[in-house]
Amino acid sequence: MGTATFKGGIHTYEGKELTQDKQTKVLMPKGELVYPMSQHIGAPAKSIVAKGDYVLMGQKIGEADGAISANVISAVSGTVKAVEPRLTSSGLMVESVIIENDNLYKPIEGLGEKRDYAKLSKEQIRSIIKESGIVGLGGAAFPTQVKLTPGDDSKIDTVIINAAECEPYLTSDYRMMLEEPEKIMNGLKIILKLFPNAKGIIGIEDNKPEAIKKLTELVNGEDKIEIKALKTKYPQGGERQLVYAVTGRKLNSTILPYQVGCVVNNVDTAIAIYMAVAESTPLMRRIVTVAGDAVKEPGNFNVKTGTNFREVLEAAGGLTEEPEKMISGGPMMGQALFSLDIPVSKTTSALLCFTKDYVADMEPSSCIRCGRCGYACPAQIIPQKMYICSQNNDAEGFIKLDGMECCECGCCTYVCPAKLSLTQSFRQMKRSILESRKK
């Protein structure tokens, strides 16, 4: 069986064995819940509650502001304690609604009501998704309803569910595939309802045979849905790599999937869509993998959005010893944390704690021109050359080398024997170029 893949990429230590066989546990928050108004790409939501207001579980507390924005939903009932800037995993202070949980979980009307999605119109489906505050849960956090509204529905011929989960350590998507495969399938069917000419493909890395088996059983009899095994390789779940592996179509930095007839959604996004459309439940939870050698009992947790990271760590038994490094998300693209006093947001995929930061112990040396960075680069550009441009602040040269095609996957930095911070320098370079273009 040929497994689909792309050129470049890396094989890392996977670290998934720590948590992949652990049943997801539901975590009930104890303290206050924090809802940043910006948990997505695009304009921040506007808070529509004020201090002292009482909110219900499932109630909208932040309203999408503009075309590309997303609602924010409270996962508990309780009183609004404050609306003020709070620290988020990005390291920035973001305007947030803080709710004192009354532990009653009083729902808004109609929460959890079953709906027959077969009877809903496309408009109804889209507006439910929009209302439910769903964003791409794979990490990009692009508002899902916008993604599902490409303009001409008939031009979409492939709906891809991204079940690659290529980041090391992360197993939250995998657990969902084992625990709630029907919801994924139904989520996909709902998306397919929007695109009459499309067929659905679920792409899974071949290091997850259990998940492939489970989903394949469910596909039985569906002629519009297909499971595709993908080679286990980072960044197989990157949008450009995935679309290529599944359809052979190549995206670049200026082309979005819908422009080549594809719509891509993450596994958990498909579940969120199903929950919203068929079970009237907006996006209020997140599956979080807690792992790393500093964690006592690594596992996966079903966490209400807004829950403090400390509580999540506690749920995993706390720390074995003082960590040197903590990361929100995976080790390849996640965010290093300097405080655990931050809330779980819609896109929090993991909390990783390590006793040793061996990256910090690696001294960078000179580039030896070994070429490894170029072989690993999925964008098929030459990081070694781009690095020279970025060191010299040569924006023009950087653009000429197609530096803007860098998707910041981190592969080049990972393989570089000279331990140069290639990705980081490209990130900065790209940002400054994009900023100067705006002016």
Partner 1 sequence: MNKLLNVSASPHTRSFATTTTIMQDVAIALVPASLFGIYNFGLRALLVILTCIATCLLTECVYEMAMKKPITTGDFSAVVTGLLLALNMPVSIPLWIPALGSIFAILVVKMLFGGVGQNFMNPALAARCFLLISFAGRMTDFTVSAVGASASSFDYVKSGAIALDGVSGATPLAALKAGETVSLLDMFLGNTGGTIGETSVIAILVGAVYLLIKKVISFRIPVAYLASFAVFVVLFGGKGLDTNFLLAHVCGGGLLLGAFFMATDYATSPITRKGQVVFGVLLGLLTAIFRIFGASAEGVSYAIIICNMLVPLIEKLTYPKAFGKETKANG
Binding residues for ligand SF4 restricted to 345-374, rule: CB under 6 A: 367-373
258 binds, options ligand SF4, partner 1, none, Cβ within 5 to 8 A by partner type? partner 1
User: Minimum Å distance from CB 290 to partner 1?
Assistant: 15
User: Minimum Å distance from CB 13 to ligand SF4?
Assistant: 18
User: Minimum Å distance from CB 256 to ligand SF4?
Assistant: 17
387 binds, options ligand SF4, partner 1, none, Cβ within 5 to 8 A by partner type? ligand SF4
User: Minimum Å distance from CB 33 to partner 1?
Assistant: 22
Pair 263, 148: CB distance under 8 Å: yes
User: Minimum Å distance from CB 309 to partner 1?
Assistant: 11
User: Does 376 sit near ligand SF4 (CB under 6 A)?
Assistant: yes
C-alpha 210/C-alpha 76 separation (Å) is 34
Sign of the C-alpha dihedral computed for residues 244, 151, 188 and 61 taken in this order: positive
- The residue (of 225 and 327) whose beta carbon lies closer to partner 1 is 327
261 binds, options partner 1, ligand SF4, none, Cβ within 5 to 8 A by partner type? partner 1
User: Does 18 sit near ligand SF4 (CB under 6 A)?
Assistant: no
User: Minimum Å distance from CB 300 to partner 1?
Assistant: 20
User: Minimum Å distance from CB 135 to partner 1?
Assistant: 20
248 binds, options ligand SF4, partner 1, none, Cβ within 5 to 8 A by partner type? none
> Token match 């100067």: residue?
436
> Token match 């996909």: residue?
188
Of 273-312, which residues contact ligand SF4 (CB under 6 A)?
Answer: none
420 binds, options partner 1, ligand SF4, none, Cβ within 5 to 8 A by partner type? ligand SF4
Q: Name which position in 95, 222, 357, 408 contacts ligand SF4 (CB under 6 A).
A: 408
Alpha-carbon separation of residue 85 from 88, 306, 324 (angstroms): 9, 14, 27
- The residue (of 117 and 426) whose beta carbon lies closer to partner 1 is 426
User: Minimum Å distance from CB 367 to ligand SF4?
Assistant: 3
Q: Name which position in 384, 390, 398, 430 contacts ligand SF4 (CB under 6 A).
A: 384
- The residue (of 253 and 302) whose beta carbon lies closer to ligand SF4 is 253
426 binds, options partner 1, ligand SF4, none, Cβ within 5 to 8 A by partner type? ligand SF4
C-alpha 131/C-alpha 148 separation (Å) is 14
Pair 132, 73: CB distance under 8 Å: yes
- The residue (of 4 and 418) whose beta carbon lies closer to ligand SF4 is 418
Of 409-428, which residues contact ligand SF4 (CB under 6 A)?
Answer: 409-412, 415-418, 420, 422-423, 426
User: Which positions ≥6 away from 92 have C-beta within 8 Å?
Assistant: none
Residues that bind ligand SF4 (CB under 6 A): 367-373, 376-379, 381, 383-384, 387, 406-412, 415-418, 420, 422-423, 426
